[in-house]
A and B are shown apart, each in its own frame.
Chain A
Amino acid sequence: MQWDRRAFIKLAVGGVLGVHASPLMWKLMDDSTIWTQNWSWVPVPEDGAVAFANVVNPQTGTGAKARLVQGRVDGTRAIRVEGNPEHPLSKGGVVPQDASALQLLYNTDIRVTAPLLRDRASGRYSKLSWPEALDILAGNLAEVAKQGKPEAIMALGQDPESATGQLLLSLMAALGSPNLAFTPNAGETLALAGLAMMGQTDLGFDLANSDYVISFGTPLLENFGAPVATRKAFASWRGFPKNSGFLAQIESRASVTASQADMWLACRPGTEGALALAMCSIMIQEKLYDQAAVKASFGFADEGDFKGFKTFVLKNYRRERVAQMAGVPLEKLVKLTLGFAKAKRAVAVCGPGNSSDPGRMYDFMAVLALNALKGNIGKPGGVLVQAPLPLKAIGSTRVQSNVRPLVDPAQGLDSNNPDALAKAALAGKPYGIKTLLLVGGNFVYNGPQAGVMEELARKTPFVVALTPYLDESASVADLVLPTTHWLEGWGDSTSPYGSPVACYGLHRPLIKAVPQAKDAGDVLLQVASRLGGKVAKALPYKNMEEVLAVRTEAMGEFEELAEQSFWVQPKPAYGPVKFQTPTGRFEFFSMGLFKLLSGRAGNPQVLERMVAMMGVGGGLEAAFLPHWEAPAAADDLGTGMPLLLAAVPSLRTTWGGDAITPYMVKVLPDTMLADMDKLVVEMNPQTAHELHLYEGDMIRVDSVAGSLTAKLSLFAGAAPGVVYAPVGLGHSAFGFQVEGKGMNFNRAAKVTTDPMSGLPVWELTAVSVEKVQG
């Protein structure tokens, strides 16, 4: 055959027609369609019957329901965490941390799946069996105790009120070490302020029934108490078509709370307490306070040469002076005070700082004094005393040796200061530590001064981390013990900060735990039983379930309670409050504090010196009265550190408990995280202009504690002279979706000790700022 043009066309056309006639092409197309829709890497979730189970998230206090799917192959798995409309406080509704909790639960890349022993030289982990791991831990504790120095064991836990916390307290007490601290929180400050002025520790704010709320620097709508319950109260003020409640926010930045408030009183950072006292002085001058309530109180008026609160406040907190010092317009301050004084059910609220720190005790006392002048204590919409939770003690927490703790108890009222403890242990003064137990709380990340915690962990000969996750603490621990997530194991939580009624949350195993994970409480019990002797006697329980059953005996049938998952005080305690102070009255001048410290000092001269040594400003005259002191960071200004570093709280990040989840990272706005992994800090445009900085510049923020490298965002709502950085980013663990996103605020925050409460505070830090390449 001749190969010509015609033959070529015939062959080509014939070929095309032939291929079309054969099923080959259609089959291939069909196959490719199927193939493109059957990508093995697109998961196919297994179907099954749906069930719901109540649970309370111990991290947020949200009453929730887990939606469970019972699959034939995969078994029971949780697919969602939803709100529980039957929970009296949260009434349905969740926050991002609740809704995305499963992302940490099921990600086996970040969970600890077996006890691990880390070789310090190579950093490699080797797997252990539980008996081996417990032997190592118990052996170490026994050895340190045998050397006669049980105080060389230090422990850090997450929540002292929880059953796990109580077991840790008992364990340390039985071992004979006083060196124990927990994640600090504002509840302790409020308890101390309440104890000083009212003789009551469990105070709450009846926000839902209040019609005039003033929040003193606390992020009411970002990070306050149980966030869902707080929002329910907030929503009840936003009526339709008219608002039924008035909210005023006093703080330095146009935060969410400030923006949603009816009035934002923009003050200089750290002056909120002074403004509370200025409001007291206005109310006294205008005679707008509750005469009856004040008459029944102690320490308001002068008596003999004793100068009362009235004289003290009128002399030191004149409205003009405070307004000028705090940088607020006087008429706005007066208007706010008059509104507060005239409102039917007004309440002044104090709480955790924007950095989640426990707050300053004198600021809290100032706010309580303001509430007392309003006469709202024990009244609807005011300051309430919670009923005590009907919980049975599960052990003794008294340390039976008279070893001196690492931190001098005379430093403040509360010894729960992980930061001071860590700093003392690092300095080896008065002695160093040999073993460090980290029971949850991820202290190496959370700090509060994270750098100090990491250094301590690296320098301590033996570090144990009990944690569900391969977190920062696990990465420096010698022994990592896997514990359960709150959806997998037994545990509990008590009233969130500022709750008007007492509440208790219980969680039980709803799904099968990752292999080998044990409840943290169970690990402590098993270690105690291995140690034997008086330690085993102090923790005589079989497991966590038994501990909880004993603890909640008074709350009714245990199984019902576990199913219900919460217990809430049925009614708020309205009515006259029983002030358990030495005078039996509300004390503007805290007789309780005075007696306590006088007892410690012995005589007035020593008392004066002692108060000065604690760092209380204003001398003896002010020490027992609510007063205001400039924040510690203000003293550092001008030493080459011209700016302040403050925190931006958000429910899209977390501090103190579980880490930020991938979904929370996903919803971070570009004013917090940008360009894949860069932290974003805010600054007032005017301040940036003075420093020759522009939007989008990369800057380094340096403090004495550490530094942050971040992208600059100019925000008109930021107070001049302050750098605002988000808290809760910059993990070095938790998988590719979380790891390395931003930088850790607590690496740059300088932690100091509140002079009176003795708790750590880190609201403000003096910093310098420098432009860097990048």
Chain B
Amino acid sequence: MTTSTHIKRFSARGLLPAWFFLALLLVACGDSGPPSVQESVLRRGNGAEPESLDMHNAISTEAGDVQRDLGEGLLGFSPTGELRAAAAERWVISDDGLEYTFSLRPEARWSNGEPVTAADFVYSFRRLVDPATAALYLISVTNIENADKIIAGELSPGALGVAAVSTHEFRIRLNSPVPYFLSLLTHPSTFPLHRASVERLGDEHLRAGNLVSNGAYKLQERQVGSHVELVRNEYYWDNENTKIDRVVHYVTPEPMAELNRFRAGELDMTRTIPPESFVQMKDERPDEVRTSPSLAVYYYGFNLTKPSFRDNPKLRQALSMAIDRETIADEVMGRGETAAYGWVPDGTANYQPRRFSYADMSRKERHHTARQLYREAGFGENNPLTIEVRFNTSNVHQRIAASVQAMWKEVLGIGTVLINEEFHVLLANVEQKDITQVFRLNWSGEYNDAHTFLSMFESDNPSNLTAYQSVEYDSLMDRAAAQTDPDRRKVFLAEAEGLLLNDHPAIPIYFYVNKSMVSKRVQGWGDNVLNYHYSQHLSLAAEE
């Protein structure tokens, strides 16, 4: 090749073919054509990447939504959140509340056509508590006989209080009565695993083509960072009532990008609605905005190992009373969140939440009492308090912290230093309790029972990050735990919440709300506090 021809290739005119080359390359990079149009395909925005499809390795709500489509536990929820039979068609609970015997559906099948048996549940429960599994989420089974000793490595998994009474009869024995135990059995960690494929393939059993599941769908394809695609499980016992043929759970970690995909018609439902677009969506697409109360509370916790807050409930109450929760819920958030004047959210099953004694006071009265308490706590104009508030970096948390800062300044004259930290740094500081004074966190209910909210303040609960210690509170919680009569139990739980609200180890600010965009095409959607939406309950109306 001569120099001149070589140079010619780089010349301006020579760039023209390169344009065609680029266009050709773009076309060549495309994949196969679209899927068949006859199929009913549900496209779900699922938030962050599900960390695992292994029922024993996941903890996130994103993984849970995929797992509830893939698998099925002994019980499940209706679209509106009522407990109902699933893999078990009925059950008997012993009088002492310790023994549960489940009759499995004889027609239940794995996605390979094999029957689902009690032995599958026994294997799965034992695997879950086996230390070698290193499961993260064990709350559903920690009350089963010997579970704690097995997790601690003192007993073998075979000692767990579960048994296959017959091919289709599965029995669980508990250490102590757990009134909400049935609702725990809806969690994916309690779903059965197909023993033969797990043991034969190891981690490879989770791959498309290998994964044998017992839910309404089976795994078709998984691309990390992109989507998890499921198709109808023809062997599922209720297959004839399953309307959607194919479900694609798209990975949508960015709420705004997810919303844009919905608006562009690429998704039928979203996991959330970004705060900055909520009002716009309410105006533009009111029929597609779905909100419902959520079992989660946003709170500011006190580090009760620090002198200013320890032994000073008056100061803690003054700080709580000075916060105008309605302003934060309605104006700073404005997506349907509700002001939190108690610890347990409304909508919690079989429970009437308690409220702060000052919940019904006027704003003026509240502020007046707050100032009085502040002075009684030993502070005032001549001895003002300065507080550090730590929160994880986020626009929402920043806005709330700035509002609280202004409210405390206005009502009590307190100076507040706002410190934002990366989430894991915040968690580490809160756990260490060395430098933290006031911190922002939230608590989401793991099951629909007041216990999930109230147990976190028990002295020995690792999630008791405020270090609240109260013998009376622990005693009330113990007495509630020992009750088999649900009404008596409710009384003890309510008393415990009343004590908690009186002691102010934390300031509940607002209760969260579930919010999603749901296309008008999606039928069968039901609002529920846990925000569970099984694809098998949904169907799609014909395109307009």
A binds B: no
